[in-house]
Each structure stands twice: as C-alpha cells, then as structure tokens.
Amino acid sequence: MKKAFFMGTIMFVVAIAPLAFAIDGDDLLKKVDRNLNPESFEMYRKLMNIEPDGSKKEFIMYSVKKGMDKVASVFLSPASEKGRSTLRVGENMWLYIPNVGKPIRITSLQSVTGGVFNNSDILRIDYSAEYSVERLEKTDEGDLLHLKARTRAVAYHLLKMWVDDKRLLPIKIECYASSGMLLKTLYFKEVKDFGGGIVRPAVVETESPLYKGYKSVMIFAKIRAKEIKDEVFTLTFMPNLGSLR
C-alpha cells in the first residue's frame, strides 16, 4: 500500500506496507499465544523420546504458567525423576534435584529430559515475549510469520511459523540458528477441545537434522485456566511445586 502526497507540482510516494505488516503480524502472534494457552493455567504433559531403534523413554510432568514469561514444572514419573522441578522466569532457568537441595542454573539449549526437545521447548514462554515479527506472508498452508529473536539469549535466532488462518493456531515451526542452519522442526497436531474455551493442538512432535532418526513427542492433557500466585515462580518454592496439584 502506498500513499501519495502533493506539494505544488511534485508528488511524493511513501510506502507504508512494512509498518502495517509488522503491526498485523505482532498482533497475530499474540493471538496465537493466547489460543495456545490461557494467560495463567495448569496442565499435565507426557514427553516421549523415541530412539532410532524404536525404544522410548517417557516422562510425565505437571506444569503451571503465568503471564508471558513465568513457567514451572515438576516431574511425576519415572521414579528416577520424581520430585525434580524446573523454573523459568524470562531468560533465566533453574533445575531443582531433591537430593541436591539447591536449584542449579540451566540453559535454554540444554535438555532436562534428553532427546530433541531442549529446555526452551519444555519451558516454553509466550512466543511474543521472545520474538518480534519481521514479515507476514500468505501461503497455501496458511499465514507464515517470519520471527526474529528479541535478544541473543534465546535458543533460536529465527523462526518460521505457519499459522492456521481460521483457528489462529500454529501448524508447523522451523527453528534456525543465526547462521541460517535449520536446527529443528516442530509439528502441531490433533487439535482438541480441552474445555473452558481452550481449543489447541494436543500433540507437538519434533525432529532435527542434527539428530537423525530421533524424535520427541509432547502430549498435553488437562489444560485449564488457574490463578497462580507469584510466589510459585521463585527458587524457594521449587521443592513444593507438587503441592499445587
């Protein structure tokens, strides 16, 4: 879209499309975030790591999230992981291990479960908290958002997010390093009505060219809005996360 301005006999043409697209794209991304999760909620997840030979390792986690950038989880199984908890506040992440007794710092590119999902994927905050929209395009698969990290601390420098333009939910996300290398692809599947107005994919699968033959799957259950106190998202509360269930 262009606007023309006249001064005497001279016409000036000003292109305003990039600004309009940036505003529309960021608004769309915020709607995607809210459609994926309420602003404050609890949920259960099963995370499966699948080896090239077909063997699996499974984890069950209870998680709570508040606002754009606070999320905490506790492992319920397997027995070897039970009671471990994780906390993310903005770009900062910690892991609490009961027999250690003191939270330790972890990074977004590490993984508390192993497999293809890293800590950034497992402790996912709002996409709009970490990324801004550089470009929005229409494709046969839906709206395509080109996202750029707001800081260098995030796990992925660039994302390409395909969005269902009717449900405003992600279909697929490609995650890239600053070099342009594709690190992994996330697939959002099996849209389900969880009740309370929450309709979103119940399954997220990921694969990576860096881990050929490996796959990780996250299955969501019992997502519901819940008011969570701020004190839950502190280091001192990490040993007590299980008490919220």
Task: Give how far the C-alpha of residue 239 lies from the chain's centroid of Cα atoms, to the nearest Å.
Answer: 24
pTM of the model: 0.87
For residues 174 and 187, give the distance between their C-alpha atoms in angstroms, rounded to a whole number.
9
Q: Which domains does the chain have, with CATH numbers?
A: 19-237 (2.50.20.10)
How many other CB atoms are there within 10 angstroms of residue 234's CB atom? Answer: 14
DSSP string, 99-150: TT-S-EEE-TTS-SS-SS--HHHHT---HHHHEEEEEEEEETTEEEEEEEES
Q: Output the tens digit of pLDDT for each of the chain's 245 residues.
A: 444 544 454 444 444 444 444 448 899 999 999 999 999 999 999 999 999 999 999 999 999 999 999 999 999 999 999 999 999 999 999 999 999 878 999 999 999 999 999 999 999 999 999 999 999 999 888 899 999 999 988 999 999 999 999 999 999 999 999 999 999 999 999 999 999 999 999 999 999 999 999 999 999 999 999 999 999 999 999 999 999 99
